[in-house]
């Protein structure tokens, strides 16, 4: 079953009264506090705002990275606040090519939830001519019980060892991978052995997933084919979940290193590679 849902399929589910809980996961690294304001300017009717920084991640020391995983208890409390009951379908969306929504997908899938990502996000919903709402939705609390999360996450030591037995993907922009620029973290470069494959290569100009054959060929170009052990990291563990989502869509399971480069570069003694080669 696909992890994506089209806007027309979502509209049909909502019209049929299916047990769907919508979450709006609008977030950007450069203005994380503005997501709720953006939500209030217009969201899919019935959607609850889900703040990535406090419900889909936690905070700690720099050596833990910018977006460490929340506890299962924190995620369960959030899901109940969103109104999720056992058996519900959760559909996550954003307005940034599904990167933040993918973080919700990655966590909730581990927790045993039937979760989908809206293909094309809010932009596709509006382009289809569907209505938006401006209320601040506060549903009746849900009763969902989540399974323990974290099984699909790599520790920093596991990430360091991963290239010896599989493909570790650095899904950031090429210039950050090469070490030519680093706008956020104390060191520039990449984890030795990692291969660069920016996650946006899998989407069209409208933010929708490309056809499966094209996606598989792109992954094959860096050595990822069915059966290949693969893991992904990015700057802080958000867009890496997007790559995990895309891989899942073409039948390949992937791990994510949630600490990502923000944890690696803030941990003394970790080696750093630069240039186009894995290092």
Among residues 252, 241, 240, which one has the least CA distance to residue 215?
A: 252
Residue 31 pLDDT: 77
Count other Cβ atoms within 10 Å, centred on residue 185. Answer: 20
Q: Give pLDDT < 70 ranges for the chain.
A: none
| Average pLDDT, rounded, for the chain | 95
Residue 278 pLDDT: 87
Considering the chain, tell me which residue range(s) the CATH 3.40.250.10 domain(s) occupy: 4-127, 156-264
Rounded CA-CA distance 201/210 in Å is 9
Residue 116 pLDDT: 98
Longest dimension (CA), the chain: 56
Q: Output the pTM of the full model.
A: 0.95
Q: Does domain 156-264 have CATH number 1.10.569.10?
A: no
* CATH number of the domain located at residue range(s) 4-127 in this protein: 3.40.250.10
Rounded CA-CA distance 91/116 in Å is 5
Active site residues: 234
Residue 234 pLDDT: 97
146: left (phi over 0), alpha (psi -120 to 50) or beta: beta
Among residues 84, 81, 80, 67, which one has the least CA distance to residue 21?
A: 84
Among residues 149, 21, 151, which one has the least CA distance to residue 75?
A: 149
């Amino acid at each position: 079953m696909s992890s994506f849902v089209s806007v027309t399929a979502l509209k049909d589910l909502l019209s049929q009264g299916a047990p769907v809980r919508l979450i709006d996961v609008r977030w950007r690294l450069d203005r994380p506090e503005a997501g709720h304001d953006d939500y209030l300017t217009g969201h899919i009717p019935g959607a609850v705002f889900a703040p990535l920084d406090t419900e889909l991640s936690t905070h700690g020391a720099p050596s833990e990275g910018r977006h460490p995983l929340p506890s299962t208890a924190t995620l369960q409390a959030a899901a109940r606040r969103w109104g999720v009951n056992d058996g519900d379908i959760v559909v996550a969306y954003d307005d940034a090519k599904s990167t933040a929504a993918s973080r919700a997908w990655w966590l909730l899938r581990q927790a045993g939830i039937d979760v989908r990502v809206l293909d094309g996000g809010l932009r596709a919903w509006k382009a289809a001519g569907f209505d938006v709402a401006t209320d601040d939705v506060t549903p009746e609390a849900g009763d969902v019980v989540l399974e323990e999360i974290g099984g699909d996450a790599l520790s920093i030591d596991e990430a360091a060892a991963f290239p010896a037995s599989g493909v570790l993907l650095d899904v950031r922009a090429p210039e950050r991978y090469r070490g030519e620029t680093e706008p956020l973290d104390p060191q520039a470069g990449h984890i030795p052995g990692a291969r660069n494959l920016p996650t946006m290569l899998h989407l069209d100009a409208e933010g929708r997933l490309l056809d499966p054959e094209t996606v598989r060929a792109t992954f094959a170009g860096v050595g990822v084919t069915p059966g290949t052990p693969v893991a992904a990291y990015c700057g802080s563990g958000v867009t890496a979940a997007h790559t995990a989502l895309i891989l899942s869509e073409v039948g390949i399971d992937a791990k994510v290193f949630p600490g990502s480069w923000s944890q690696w570069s803030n941990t003394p003694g970790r080696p750093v590679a630069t240039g186009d080669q894995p290092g």
